[in-house]
Amino acid sequence: MSSFRFLTAGESHGQCLTAIVEGLPAGLRIDIEEINRDLARRQQGYGRGGRMKIETDRAQVVSGVRFGETMGDPVTLQVVNRDWQNWTDRMSVFGPEFGDKVTAVRPGHADLTGVLKYDRKDARDILERASARETAARVAVGGLCKAFLQACGIQVVSHVIKIGGVSVNEANIDRSKIGSGTSELNCYDPEAEAGMKQKIQAAMEAGDTLGGVFEVIVRGAPLGLGSHIQWDKRLDGKLAWAMMSIQAIKGVEIGAGFQCGELPGSEIHDEMFLDKDKRVYRKTNRAGGLEGGMTNGEEISIKACMKPIPTLMKPLNSVDIGSKTEVSACKERSDCCAVSAASVVGEAMTAIVITEAMLNKFGGDAMVDLLSGLKSYKNRVQGSL
């Protein structure tokens, strides 16, 4: 069993975000610029707010890597918050309280539940950590995992398929090109992207926010990751959990997802055939690459739905936890739409889960041992049915 795990720490306007990653094998080559490219992708997107104009996220590796290779001990990553310089008094670690309290809690956010659960008088004590700013640390961790997966011949990519009710036309998308584009919304249907931008612009002018749906795709994962033996070893369950852990995600589908509840089995299950070499293949992939909690060798497909961001420039009705009166919710600097950013976070979380599954199956304290085991396993499986 792999001991792979990670933790993040830090607040939205604190000094930095930190992540500690344990369990990566020694001998993994790390390109910090690849990690920084994903951090930059997370910040981009039509409809992002003013905070992203302040930050230029770059990861610093402060332990676990020497001369560009992992050494086998925990890897520590930091992403500095440039906006910290404007919040040193309000977010001071020690010293007297400074600044106004946030008491007009926001519907749809962690504010009210958090202050009640943790017995706080200022919602900032909750919103700072509940903020999606935390996902910058996860994207950095995901960058490490992507490097590991790439060494194993596995690629994780994403694209946006719906924003504000505007959906892509699958017929217009070349799935082989996903992951290679430079779309501002990470969308591979130009006509749909134009419609999405119009929706976002209208929402910005109205002081409103929009959500949407993105898909994460995993290419090259070997058959047999995960297990049917126990509920907590099923890979589809772990992927769904990871996606739902992303701020504002409210729904997850694998493969055909909820469509499975509408169509008969004859139109859902992926029939199997034999090629000229007597190897199994499928003409469809409605299972999304997962059967019985395990990868089946097909492309993995996970879709996630993001709700509209709960900070509106025309605030919703709420309550003030200090005065106990009905008020308009507070306004924090925010985005109108961050679905494209969420798709990058989805890539990171998927890469983390697939990395853990690979380490669980193939183990090894060094990359050379793991890759040897992976090669041997693939040869055995390909030599079977």
Structure tokens at 145: 């995992």
Look up residue 276 and give its amino acid: K
* The one-letter amino acid at 116: L
pTM, entire model: 0.95
Cα gap 221→258, rounded to integer Å: 24
**Containing structural domain, residue 225:** 5-383
Task: Give the start-end residues of each E strand in the chain.
Answer: 5-9, 16-22, 59-63, 65-66, 69-70, 75-80, 155-163, 166-167, 212-219, 249-254, 272-274, 280-282, 290-291, 294-295, 300-306, 317-320, 325-328
Condensed to tens digits (0 to 9), the pLDDT of residues 13-39 reads: 999 999 999 999 999 999 999 999 999
Tens-level pLDDT at each residue, the chain (385 residues): 568 999 999 999 999 999 999 999 999 999 999 999 999 999 988 887 765 566 789 999 999 999 999 999 999 999 999 989 999 999 999 989 999 999 999 999 999 999 999 999 999 999 999 999 999 999 999 999 999 999 999 999 999 999 999 999 999 999 999 998 889 999 999 999 999 999 999 999 999 999 999 999 999 999 999 999 999 999 999 999 999 999 999 999 999 999 999 999 999 999 999 999 888 999 999 999 999 999 999 999 999 999 999 988 888 899 999 999 999 998 776 789 999 999 999 999 999 999 999 999 999 899 999 999 999 999 998 866 6
How many domains are contained in the chain?
1
User: Considering only CA atoms, which of 305, 308, 11 is closest in space to residue 134?
Assistant: 11
Q: What's the pLDDT score for residue 227?
A: 97
279: Cβ–Cβ under 8 A, 6 or more apart, which residues? 382, 385
The residue ranges of DSSP E strands in 82-206, in sequence order, are 155-163, 166-167
Long-range contacts (CB closer than 8 Å, 24 or more residues apart) made by 228-234: 228/292, 228/293, 228/294, 233/293, 234/292, 234/293, 234/294
82 — phi, psi (to 5°)? -65, -30
- Give residue 181's pLDDT: 81
Pairing of strands 5-9, 280-282: unpaired
Query: pLDDT by residue (tens digit) across 92-106?
Result: 999 899 999 999 999
CATH of the domain at 162: 3.60.150.10
